[in-house]
Amino acid sequence: MTQLTALSIASEIFPLIKTGGLADVTGALPTALKQHDIAVVTLVPGYPSVLQAIEDGQTVLDLPELFGGPARLVAARCGELDLLVLDAPHLYARPGNPYVGADNKDWPDNALRFAALAQTGARLGQGLMPGYAPDVLHAHDWQTGLLPAYLHYSGKRGPKTVFTIHNLAYQGQFPRELLARLGLPERAYAMDGVEYYGSIGYLKAGIQLATRITTVSPSYAQEIQGTEAGMGLDGLLRLRAGDLSGILNGIDDKVWDPACDELIPVSYDVETIGARARNKQALQTRFGLKPAADALLVGVVSRLSWQKGLDMLIEVLPELLKGGAQLALLGSGDAPLEQAFRAAALTYPGQVGVVIGYDEALAHQMQAGSDALLVPSRFEPCGLTQLCALRYGAVPIVSRVGGLADTVVDANEMAIATGVATGVQFTPVTAHALAAALAKAQALFADHAAWRNLQINGMTTDVSWRNPAGHYAKLYRELADA
């Protein structure tokens, strides 16, 4: 196999900057692709946390003017990741969340901040840096959606592009008046260009103009071609259906490995699964829950947004707790949901524990100590927490949508009989069906042998990047040969 080079362009990358699963994916896929002889370099913005982590980086190119100020490209290695960091202080020297300021509002210049990232990615593809010529460009989510547009309207040749949709709900829509400032010609403002319902659509541009489009599960790839999940883009996605495919995410099985996870109290594997009991105890202590071994401990690790369906959990909570279960929730996001869960913890002391915030170590402890992990999403492009749950022997309880449908095998009679069940799925996504799923989980939990089977089936499921990386590798090679 000849070696292929790819430039991945992303606004987040684990472990340097993360707000969600996008960072996990962009941080793990490059390493997995090495097995396929694909060398990936990732272009990321030079946020303070990124610059701090690459102190030994080398300036490889000065860009005297990039959307209102000077910038430079810094090449660096971080663990196994090869990075090109776009250091542009006027755009990225802002601590904390990469998209919003301290007031929790989008930075007013986000259009320019991410156009700069996309444009630099496109230019790198077209030879901006002497001696560097990637075979394929792989852009992620709306923040890099203009990349194929910059290539297309430059009039110059460039590599083929893959555009991955991680979440159709975030579309990056900006006023049309910005067109010239973005460095795009007037003709780009067209139906078959960047125009989107009277404004400039970054996600739309990516979908319209990339060579190939992927999303992060086969089910989501189907769902987004319908009006409900399509969120305004279903027509275009149907038009491009021939170039659209779903490739499931994996998880980094070194970062997420219960057998040698230093962030959890007691490590274990499928042979020593009984040791999970001590992680459960520790988790109950951490969340102020009663130390009851026989109470089903349901964990939630999630952004608190409408997508995740956790308002329905609030609705059915009394019913769940009446059955003797406990809830431990780690999450942050929409203020009303944060408040509702804080209030629930006060109403049900010893039975509901809530940590509002973002805590990577605690996320691991929850996977290692919860009996079940709940993901009741209204839509879910892939979802990673249910994959971590499978690997850690926390039985996932999920709605049957997107990647959740594709990664969890529901404990129906047939699946139990044939020994392949790994969790509980419910549909439709309503509070009523959620309550039924939770009741079903409680019944299964009471049957120790049945529950143990679910755990073992989950822990022996391959949730790594091995398979998915093969699909991306094939796609890159097709494009490089085309």
| Contact positions vs ligand ADP (CB under 6 A) | 20-21, 24, 301-303, 330-332, 358-360, 363, 382-385
CB of 247 to ligand GLC, least distance (A): 10
Q: Exposure of 48 by Cβ count < 10 A (0-12 exposed, 13-18 middle, 19+ buried)?
A: middle
| Buried b / exposed e along 115-136 (16+ C-beta atoms within 10 A) | bbbbbbbbbbbeeeeeebebbb
Query: Residue 57 gets which letter from DSSP?
Result: -
Binding residue for ligand GLC (CB under 6 A) from 13, 207, 384, 398? 384
CB of 384 to ligand ADP, least distance (A): 4
Binding flag, residue 381, ligand GLC (CB under 6 A): yes
Binding flag, residue 166, ligand GLC (CB under 6 A): yes
Binding residue for ligand GLC (CB under 6 A) from 20, 89, 218, 288? 20
Distance set, CA 33 to CA 27, 30, 324 (Å)? 11, 5, 46
Q: Which residues pair with 73 in a beta bridge?
A: 61, 86
Distance CA 347, CA 328 (A): 14
φ/ψ of 70, rounded to 5, equals -80, 155
Binding flag, residue 308, ligand GLC (CB under 6 A): no
Query: What SS3 class is residue 397?
Result: strand
Please name the residues in contact with 129: beta carbons below 8 A apart, sequence gap of 6 or more.
60, 61, 73
Binding residue for ligand GLC (CB under 6 A) from 8, 42, 144, 167? 167
Distance CA 135, CA 96 (A): 33
Residue 358's binding partner, choosing from ligand ADP, ligand GLC, none, with beta-carbon cut-off 5 to 8 A by kind? Answer: ligand ADP
Listed residue (89, 95, 147) closest to 117, CA to CA:
147
Binding flag, residue 380, ligand GLC (CB under 6 A): yes
Residue 225's binding partner, choosing from ligand GLC, ligand ADP, none, with beta-carbon cut-off 5 to 8 A by kind? Answer: none
Binding residue for ligand GLC (CB under 6 A) from 125, 383, 458, 468? 383
Distance CA 381, CA 27 (A): 18
Residue 302's binding partner, choosing from ligand GLC, ligand ADP, none, with beta-carbon cut-off 5 to 8 A by kind? Answer: ligand ADP
Distance CA 112, CA 281 (A): 49
Residue 298's binding partner, choosing from ligand GLC, ligand ADP, none, with beta-carbon cut-off 5 to 8 A by kind? Answer: none
CB of 34 to ligand ADP, least distance (A): 22
Instruction: Give me the 244-283 binding string for ligand GLC, x by CB under 6 A, dash otherwise.
Output: -----x----------------------------------
CB of 255 to ligand ADP, least distance (A): 9
CB of 300 to ligand GLC, least distance (A): 15
State which residue, 279 or 305, has the beta carbon closest to ligand GLC: 305
Residue 80's binding partner, choosing from ligand ADP, ligand GLC, none, with beta-carbon cut-off 5 to 8 A by kind? Answer: none
State which residue, 384 or 411, has the beta carbon closest to ligand GLC: 384
CB of 300 to ligand ADP, least distance (A): 9
- Extended beta strands in 251-394, E state: 297-304, 326-333, 352-356, 372-375
State which residue, 127 or 226, has the beta carbon closest to ligand GLC: 226
Residue 323's binding partner, choosing from ligand ADP, ligand GLC, none, with beta-carbon cut-off 5 to 8 A by kind? Answer: none
For residue 96, is it left (φ>0), alpha (ψ between -120 and 50) or beta? left
State which residue, 189 or 306, has the beta carbon closest to ligand ADP: 306
Contact 445, 258 (CB under 8 A): no
Query: What SS3 class is residue 385?
Result: helix
User: Interhelix angle for 310-322 vs 335-347, to 10°?
Assistant: 10
Binding residue for ligand GLC (CB under 6 A) from 7, 16, 17, 22? 22
Site residues (CB under 6 A) for ligand GLC?
Answer: 20-22, 25, 166-167, 216, 249, 380-384, 403
